[in-house]
Amino acid sequence: MTDSDENFMLQAIALAKTKGTDPSDTPIAAIIVRNRVVISTAVNETADNNDATAHAEIVAIRRAGAALGSADLGDATLYSTLQPCGMCSLASIWANIGRIVYGAARNQVHEMYFEDRTLSTMDYISDAYKDDLALEGPCLGAECAKLYYGPNDDVPEAKQANK
């Protein structure tokens, strides 16, 4: 990780906090950067838009494509405050993103944040034979993990996603 990576992750943390500071607010944020220039930013909009695909990473990819006038986000880096799920990993592959830098790792947060019936992010990337997509993290993992329920938190099942 570089100082630049930490700087962009700090921006993502600040953006996530605009959704709220309670883990139930699902304060996940993503920033897409190319050549050290921010192309797009987004927070999780699933509940706001009643759209299960409106994860922060997906919304950021959509906005970056619109901003660039192209679905090809080659040479871009996606920063996410939480390790991307399978859907967001596959969208990154399709968008030709070159690098993903994530904050909190899967083992730093409650299991509810990940669909446990599917492969991990690393499995999705390796199964797609995507050797030109780097996945790096955790970057400021402890700081990012504070945004979410912890691995041992007793979260009522009714509040849990993916259950």
Residues carrying an active site annotation: 57
Please tell me the distance from the alpha carbon of residue 10 to that of residue 86, in angstroms, as a whole number. 24
User: What are the backbone dihedrals phi and psi of residue 77, each rounded to the nearest 5 degrees, phi first?
Assistant: -115, 130
What are the residues facing 43 on neighbouring strands? 29
Encoded tokens for 114: 């990940």
> Could you tell me the end-to-end alpha-carbon distance of the chain, in angstroms, rounded to an integer?
34
